[in-house]
Amino acid sequence: MADLERSRIVIFLAATFGFTWSFYAVIWATGGLAGQTIVAGLPLSLPLLLVAMFGPAFGNFVARIATKEGWDDLRLGFNGPAKAWAVVWPGMIGAAVVGAAVYFLVFPGEFDPSLSAFEDQLGEATGGQELPFDASVLVVVQVAAAVLFAPFINAIPAFGEEFGWRGYLQWKLRPLGWRPMLLWMGVIWGIWHWPIIAMGYNYGEGYWGAPWTGMLAFLVFTTSVGAILAWSAEVTGSSIPAAVGHGTVNGIAGLGILFAASNDRPLLGPATVGLVAGIGFVGLAWLVARSEPVVPAENR
Q: What DSSP string runs through 145-184?
A: HHHHTHHHHTHHHHHHHHHHIIIIIHHHHGGG-HHHHHHH
* For residue 3, pLDDT beyond 60: no
Under 8 Å CB-to-CB from 186, ≥6 apart: which residues? 219, 222, 223, 224, 226, 227
In a domain, 283, yes or no: yes
| pLDDT tens sequence across 100-124 | 999 999 999 999 988 888 877 776 6
pLDDT of residue 200: 94
Using CA atoms of 54, 209, 271, 181 in order, give the dihedral in degrees to the nearest 10: 50
| Number of domains within the chain | 1
d(CA 138, CA 152): 21
* For residue 244, pLDDT beyond 60: yes
pLDDT of residue 35: 72
In a domain, 74, yes or no: no
pLDDT of residue 4: 63
In a domain, 43, yes or no: no
In a domain, 10, yes or no: no
* For residue 50, pLDDT beyond 90: yes
In a domain, 242, yes or no: yes
Domain encompassing residue 181: 80-299
Q: What amino acid occupies position 90?
A: P
More confident residue, 191 or 119: 191
In a domain, 41, yes or no: no
In a domain, 171, yes or no: yes
The pTM for the full model equals 0.93
d(CA 22, CA 14): 12
How confident is the model over 190-206, as a mean pLDDT?
95
Report cis status (omega within 30 of 0) of the bond before 211. Answer: yes
Q: Are 41 and 97 in contact (CB under 8 A)?
A: no
Q: What amino acid occupies position 153?
A: I
Instruction: Look at 75-79, 131-135, 197-201 and tell me which has the smallest mean pLDDT.
Output: 131-135
CA proximity to 157, closest of 55, 22, 32, 270:
55
In a domain, 196, yes or no: yes
d(CA 199, CA 207): 13
